[in-house]
Amino acid sequence: MSLALSTTPAPAVSGGQDVQRTNGYTVAVLAPVIMCSGALIDSRHVVTTATCINYLEPGDVEVYVGSNKYYADGLTKAVSKIDTPQSLNLETYEANIAVLTLEPALTPEEMSKFTINPVPRATTLPSVNELATVTGYGATDSKLTLPDVMQRAQLRVYSRTLCNQLKHNKLTATMFCAGDPTGVKDLCPADQGAPLVYDGKLVGIYSWGCSCGLAAPNPSSPVFTSIPSFRAWIDKVVNGTA
């Protein structure tokens, strides 16, 4: 499915901490008028959101890997292919996920030099109230202030009941919420596609519903696309059988 250019800023981590060195898997997805985050899942593939690269052609997109910055000390890779699920609905954010194929793939030498470590994909979501770590390159406040380096925050996984209450029953079966009960830690523009990792595995990518810290003192409740829900589809894309 071909996708198209979005002029909407993609959200970042508010109330987070600087990531002093690359975590090995969080990448910046760069296009003419937008920047998002993503997760490197092997030497050739990145998972991000479909809304990030909406209507863009592969030649319009680059991926920056191997740095805690989105502009320096890393490595730029071209994108040769963009895959999205047939069930994608950009209005409801259903199946808001995309797999980018890098060309050429990262070499073992590049991965060693830039400390690049792809993140494995989870088969199940964390239990309610567990803490998971989100990382991204986006803004750190509602004024859309971009940080010098990648940001990190721990978010608590919410129950579906609480998430639906906070999101007016707009959740689908392939979405879940993780946030901060105090509202301080949140996501904001340039974090679309930001990876959420639990127990060393990718459980979600940020999709929609951030408030960039403005929810405080009420809970923040960013909504993530569930990686376990799309693991079989991702495997087919990676294996060339989608």
State the SS3 of the chain.
Answer: CCCCCCCCCCCCEECCEECCCCCCCEEEEEECCEEEEEEECCCCEEEECCCCCCCCCHHHCEEEECCCCCCCCCEEEEEEEEECCCCCECCCCECCCEEEEEECCCCHHHHHHCCCCCCCECCCCCCCCCEEEEEECCCCCCCCCCCCCCEEEEEEECCHHHHHHHCCCCCCCCEEEEECCCCCCEECCCCCCCEEEECCEEEEEEEECCCCCCCCCCCCCCEEEEHHHHHHHHHHHHHCCC
Distance of CA 21 to CAs 113, 135, 163, Å? 13, 12, 32
Residue 10's pLDDT band (boundaries 50, 70, 90)? Answer: very low
Rounded Cα–Cα distance for residues 83 and 63 (Å): 15
pLDDT at res. 101: 98
pLDDT at 20 over 60: no
Mean per-residue pLDDT of the chain:
88
Comparing 79-88, 127-136, 178-187, the range with the smallest average pLDDT is 178-187
Give me 128's structure tokens.
């309610």
- Is the distance from CB of 227 to CB of 98 less than 8 angstroms? no
Q: Mind listing the pLDDT tens digit for each residue in 48-99? A: 999 999 889 999 999 999 998 888 899 999 999 999 999 999 999 999 999 9
Strand partners, 186: 14
Closest by Cα among 64, 41, 84 to 201? 41
The pLDDT, as a whole number, for residue 7 is 31
Question: What is the mean pLDDT of the segment spanning 130-147?
Answer: 79
Residue 3: pLDDT over 70: no
What's the pLDDT at 137?
A: 82
Q: Is the pLDDT of residue 17 over 60?
A: no
User: pLDDT: is 207 or 141 the higher one?
Assistant: 207
Cα–Cα distance, 155 to 149 (Å, whole number): 19
| pLDDT given at position 195 | 97
User: For residue 173, what are its two tokens?
Assistant: 């079966």
- Asked if the model's pLDDT at residue 2 lies above 90, the reply is no
Domains observed in the chain: 24-118+229-239 (2.40.10.10), 131-228 (2.40.10.10)
Whole-structure pTM value = 0.89
Residue with the bigger pLDDT between 112 and 184: it is 112
Per-residue pLDDT, 21: 62
* Residue 147 confidence (pLDDT): 67
Q: Tell me: the pLDDT tens digits for 187-204?
A: 876 689 999 999 999 999
